[in-house]
Structure 1
């Protein structure tokens, strides 16, 4: 089940915070970079992010989450996290699909991920996102930027 998450509820905030730590630890290991901003943020920084969060529940367990912001008819995916126990079960795909279905009026979507994170890059590419550029954010660490344009019938 996918539902919007209220980070003003302490228990939900803690669930997302813990899930994010587990997920980004694996990404940090994959890309050999442990300074990923969400991996290092405090629980209060997460609460004050201003992002909209959707969570994927497997029973009572928060197995995955996605967050995004909206600005001028453009949607930016900020986080995509799945608990390592639930990798390769299609959860990230379901969350991405839900966001796109919920915002069909949006024409442009943006997302970024570590250049050396093949699972994330493959997810976005197979969903119609196009690689825009790689950006060196610190010496020898690159983020890949992707964009998807949806054309709406007139």
Structure 2
């Protein structure tokens, strides 16, 4: 089951934080870095975020979270994390399909690490194509992808 999460609620923010921490530790290992910026995000940061969070529940447990921001006709996927206990079950695929079907927008954008091939393949499956590569100040090469809707 997917439902929108009230990230201002401390209990919900803690659940989002837990999924982020578990998933982003795996991603940091995949990328080969110790200092991974998403791991520094606090519960207070999550509570103060103006983005929308959607959770995928398995037996009343938040197993995965997708974070989005709608800006006019553009959907930005800010983060997509699945708790390692729930990997390889199609949950990320389901969450992407869900947010792409939320409302009318003309373009969707997402960024990920260049070496995160599983994420890149998943987004390509949903019609995203690469349009930019760069290395931000934290030193982790990134790729930006877009999908015209």
TM range (shorter): over 0.9
Q: Which residue of 2 aligns with 1:113?
A: 112
Equivalent position of 2:44 in the other structure: 44
Classify 1:48/1:139 alpha carbon distance in 2 versus 1 (closer, same or farther; 3 Å).
closer
Residues 112 and 143 in structure 2, CA contact (< 8 A), matched pair in contact too: yes
Structure 2 gap segments, 5+ residues each? none
Q: Is the 8 A contact 2:10 2:47 kept in 1?
A: no
- Confirm or deny that 1:130 pairs with 2:123: no
32-41 or 107-116: bigger deviation: 32-41
Give, in angstroms, the shift of residue 35 of structure 1. Answer: 3.1
Q: What does 1:5-154 correspond to in 2, within 5 Å? A: 5-103=5-103, 105-138=104-137, 140-150=139-149
Query: Structure 1: where are the runs of 5+ without partners?
Result: none
SS in 1 for 2:50: coil
- Structure 1 segments (4+ residues) deviating >3 Å: none
Cα deviation 1:12-70 (Å, max 9, x = unaligned): 11000011000000000000123333211111111112110000000111100101111
Moved more, 85-94 or 32-41: 32-41
1:8 to partner: Cα distance: 1.8
Aligned residue pairs total: 149
Give me the TM-score of the superposition, normalised by structure 1.
0.92
The Cα of 1:115 is off from its aligned counterpart by 0.6
State the Cα distance separating 1:11 from its structure 2 match: 1.2
